[in-house]
């Protein structure tokens, strides 16, 4: 559910709650508020910046791989890879 920001439509008819910005956690389908929940004064909804989770680092954690049956390796150097998660050999190298 998104967070909506509101402020008083007229600063002369506002309380301490709506004189500055306040936030309401509501469904997208909920109607827009027209009155302050504290004093009943007219309010307007503000346009604010959306928050987006940018990145999927949580999908690269060892537990995520092994839980789904994958094996994860980390480069150890010199053409050698070391296992960090899952089943499989502890090391993989290009040498036989």
Longest dimension (CA), the chain: 81
Question: Is 58 a domain residue?
Answer: no
Check whether residue 37 and residue 71 sit in a common domain.
no
**Which tens digit of pLDDT belongs to each residue from 30-71?**
999 999 999 999 999 998 777 666 667 666 777 777 788 888
Domain count, the chain: 2
Check whether residue 39 and residue 68 sit in a common domain.
no
Question: Is 30 a domain residue?
Answer: yes
Query: Which pLDDT score, from 0 to 100, does residue 96 have?
Result: 59
Question: Is 25 a domain residue?
Answer: yes
Answering whether pTM is above 0.85, one says no
Query: Which pLDDT score, from 0 to 100, does residue 58 have?
Result: 64
Altogether, the residues listed in the chain come to a count of: 96
Spatial CA neighbour of 3 closest among 46, 38, 42: 46
At residue 17, φ and ψ (nearest 5 deg) are: -70, -45
Check whether residue 13 and residue 39 sit in a common domain.
yes
Query: Which pLDDT score, from 0 to 100, does residue 59 have?
Result: 67
Section 10-23 average pLDDT: 92
Question: Is 67 a domain residue?
Answer: yes
Range of the domain at 33: 3-46
Query: Which pLDDT score, from 0 to 100, does residue 23 have?
Result: 92
**Which tens digit of pLDDT belongs to each residue from 26-39?**
888 999 999 999 99
Question: Is 29 a domain residue?
Answer: yes
Question: Is 31 a domain residue?
Answer: yes
């Amino acid at each position: 559910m998104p967070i909506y920001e509101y402020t008083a439509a007229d600063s002369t008819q506002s309380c301490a709650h709506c004189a500055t910005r306040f936030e309401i956690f509501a469904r997208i389908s909920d109607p827009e508020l027209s009155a302050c929940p504290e004093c009943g004064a007219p309010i307007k909804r503000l346009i604010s910046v959306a928050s987006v989770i940018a990145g999927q680092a949580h999908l690269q954690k060892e537990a995520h791989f092994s839980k789904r049956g994958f094996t994860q390796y980390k480069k150890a150097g010199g053409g050698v890879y070391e296992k960090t998660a899952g089943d499989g050999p502890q090391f993989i190298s290009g040498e036989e």
